[in-house]
Amino acid sequence: MGLMGNLRNRAGLVLFVIGLAIVAFLLGDIIKSGMPFFAKKQNEVGSVNGESIDYQSFNAQVDQTTAMYQQQMGGAETPQIKNFAVQQVWNQFISKELIAAEIKKIGIIVGSKELNDLITGPNPSQQIIQTFTNPQTGQFDRNYLSQVIQEAKNGNSQIADQWNAMLEGVANQRLTEKYANLVSAAVYVTALEAQEDYTAKNKLANFKYVLLDYSSVNDSEIKLTDADYKEYYDKHKNSFKNQEEIRAADLVVVDARPTAKDSTAALTAIQHLKNELIASTNDSLFASVNSDTKYPVTYIKKGQVSPALDSVIFNAANGTTVGPFLSNGTYEIAKVINAKYSPDSVKASHILLNAAAEGGVVKAKAKADSIKGLLAKGASFAALAVEYSQDPGSKNNGGELGTFARGQMVGPFEEAAFGGKPGDIVVVESQFGVHVLKIEKQVGNSKLVKVAIVDKTIAAGKETTDAAYNKANAFFTGSTAANFAENAKQQQLNLQHSNRIQAMDNTVNGVEVPRELVRWLFEAKNGEVSDKVYETENSFIIAKLTAVHAKGIQPLEAVKSEIETGVRNMVKARMLKEKMNNAIQGASSIEQIAQKVGKPAIQVENIVLANPVIPGVALESAVIGTIFGLQPNKPSKSIEGSQGIYAVQVESFVNPKEMVDSERKNQQKQLLTAKQQRTWGSIFKALQDNANIDDNRIRFY
């Protein structure tokens, strides 16, 4: 593998890891082009406080992040992976711009000497260490670092570009660390706070309570007024704030998933294929042509296929065809071609020759044979690796690759390593060049089977899809803004409502929806019915836009239907509070209050302030908080809780043992760590709340 490829792969891995951090500040400044103003605006994915990012720059980062996620998770790109990458890059952009502005405001810099120390000093940046650590030895490779620096200085433009990006990343990382250190230094926990936290977690309260539950009042008894709604709205106004524009819609989703008939058809098809696979003389070609998944015909170890196949193929004789088995909506069959025992892992070394640099594969193989001849005469493998190998990751370690399991090396190289025996030196060709491979050691011995797997996914047939589409199209054709709901009822279609659809959503009410439909919802006018029938893998969807909720605090009319339950409970609370206060008046015990209201006084023991739950009822922070401020054996005033109106009486408190100084200091340390972690989230929320963020991603994704 070439030097540039190694640097690209390693740098990519580092950017992926750093990209997941809360302060994603390592992607470098956005390159600003000289486009006209209006062209820039049309091409903007978004902006933060006037700092914009164009589609080309943003999408390049999305593609890179998507590829890295695919590499981590395996498999092809999916809409979910792409959407996650888009969100990740957007979060990185916002974080980068917000923190950059703060750093500039404070005046934090990284000097040239400081940057040099972070690259080549005794304690290099973690990014440099990660990128230039030899994967086989786990050791930081300063020779490899020097080699890359020299290549960049010598005018290798690709390596120079990557190196400059890395330098910028190291500098930005250091700036962020300095900012983080300033923030962390401003956070502290006093001994009193540590004591209060300890008490909240360990002081026990034993009490009795009487509850007048909101459900004890019939809804029919409550008549809500506009004044009631306004009172509740004014008390909770900040909870009705939208961070971005929200849309509401009615959706009719027509199910197009496979039916029992489709499952039978798939089973019939796989049984047909089984007979053909039994008779096949070219199993690899047959599997390649007839399998939906296109599994490679190769040796596999236990645990690499579905549980049903895994339980059978390792005990079947060569030539046996097994199945069909149903696994995750797919029927599978498999033909066992061969079986053998092979090492679980191999320790090896190699010398890699670049075929192009040697004048072609033939000349590279000839040179490899010459090296093999020198080794046969007693030459040092390590010395020859340092002299001839083109793999910078292993040459300075004498060609050592360490120990690896199956699946970690390219096919031809892996087969040679696992197929030989310790001490063998073989010449093998791969896509990276020609290798002189030395097998140092083999560990373990497990059974492998070579199988041809053919699968057939249960998919909705034409009849199923046509029937679902015809049903959806009939509804679409006959629907208007005025009759949308009534038409759905007449055609016995399920009408769903969603009140909070965001611009970058891929699902609505748990149902997958096309991005095209979400884009239409954000372009349509209120009351419009969708312009066509939208299609997903398993359904057809028709939508009607029912509301547009602007960014910011929503007006009362926009949230009136959502807050009805809360308003009703508020009115019930007034009634029940009056009843409870009348019972409390003149009462000297909780039992007397209970008798007056006709409710039991319920005993509760061992409740702590840090976990304000009344067993069997609910989380009641106001009630438990009040309890820890009461004197024992005296009934409380009425308390408004989430489930109703309470009266309580403390029977006793059990104080915890006193903390010694070492325990208190340890408590302070734990609280400080937790507080510092929360501080980052609070800072970003505050910065975002006060920033002017323009999100135009829906135009492009």
SS (H, E, C) 231-246: HHHHHCHHHHEECCCE
Residue-level length of the chain: 701
Residue 424 lies in a domain: yes
484 close to 250: Cβ distance less than 8 angstroms: yes
534 close to 542: Cβ distance less than 8 angstroms: yes
Residue 687 lies in a domain: no
Q: Estimate the share of the chain in helix, then strand, then coil, as percent rounded to the nearest 5.
A: 50, 20, 30
Residue 666 lies in a domain: no
Helix (H, G, I), strand (E, B) or coil at 90: helix
Question: 385: exposed, middle or buried (C-beta count within 10 Å: 0-12, 13-18, 19+)?
Answer: buried
Residue 264 lies in a domain: yes
Domain total in the chain: 5
Q: For residue 96, give both structure tokens.
A: 């980068």
346 close to 444: Cβ distance less than 8 angstroms: no
What is the pLDDT, as a whole number, of residue 136?
65
Rounded to whole angstroms, the Cα distance separating 156 from 176 reads 30
Looking only at the bridges linking them, the beta strands covering 639-640 and 204-213 are unpaired
Rounded to whole angstroms, the Cα distance separating 235 from 187 reads 32
96 and 14 within one domain: yes
Please report where in the chains the tokens 């980052």 appear, as a residue.
680
Rounded to whole angstroms, the Cα distance separating 144 from 393 reads 8
Q: Which of 550, 579, 609 is the last residue of a domain?
A: 550
Helix (H, G, I), strand (E, B) or coil at 14: helix
Rg of the chain over all Cα atoms, to the nearest angstrom: 34
Query: Across the strands, what pairs with 426?
Result: 437
106 and 229 within one domain: no
What is the pLDDT, as a whole number, of residue 75?
62
Residue 676 lies in a domain: no
Q: Which of 457, 456, 458, 455 is nearest to 261 (CA)?
A: 458
143 and 19 within one domain: yes
Q: Which of 457, 486, 513 is the last residue of a domain?
A: 457
Residue 64 lies in a domain: yes
Which DSSP string corresponds to 643-686?
A: SEEEEEEEEEEEPPPPPPHHHHHHHHHHHHHHHHHHHHHHHHHH
- Consecutive H or E run containing 465: helix 462-478
What is the pLDDT, as a whole number, of residue 3?
33
- Consecutive H or E run containing 326: strand 321-327
358 and 298 within one domain: no
357 and 330 within one domain: no
Q: For residue 550, give both structure tokens.
A: 């602007």
What is the pLDDT, as a whole number, of residue 449?
93
Q: For residue 462, give both structure tokens.
A: 């034409």
Task: Supply the range of the domain harboring residue 608.
Answer: 204-240+562-654
Residues of the chain with pLDDT under 50: 1-40
Residue 525 lies in a domain: yes
354 and 287 within one domain: no
Q: Which of 519, 550, 581 is the last residue of a domain?
A: 550
583 close to 253: Cβ distance less than 8 angstroms: no
424 and 356 within one domain: yes
534 and 577 within one domain: no
623 close to 641: Cβ distance less than 8 angstroms: yes
Query: What pLDDT, in 10s, does the model give residues 222-256?
Result: 999 999 999 999 999 989 988 889 999 999 999 99
Predicted TM-score (pTM) of the model is 0.66
Query: What pLDDT, in 10s, does the model give residues 70-102?
Result: 776 666 667 778 888 899 899 889 988 998 899
Residue 50 lies in a domain: yes
214 and 236 within one domain: yes
Give me the CATH number covering residue 621: 3.10.50
Helix (H, G, I), strand (E, B) or coil at 585: coil
269 and 215 within one domain: no
634 and 583 within one domain: yes
Which DSSP string corresponds to 269-309?
A: HHHHHHHHHHH-S-HHHHHHHH-SS----EEE-TTSS-HHH
Give me the CATH number covering residue 361: 3.10.50.40
What is the pLDDT, as a whole number, of residue 2?
38
250 and 264 within one domain: no
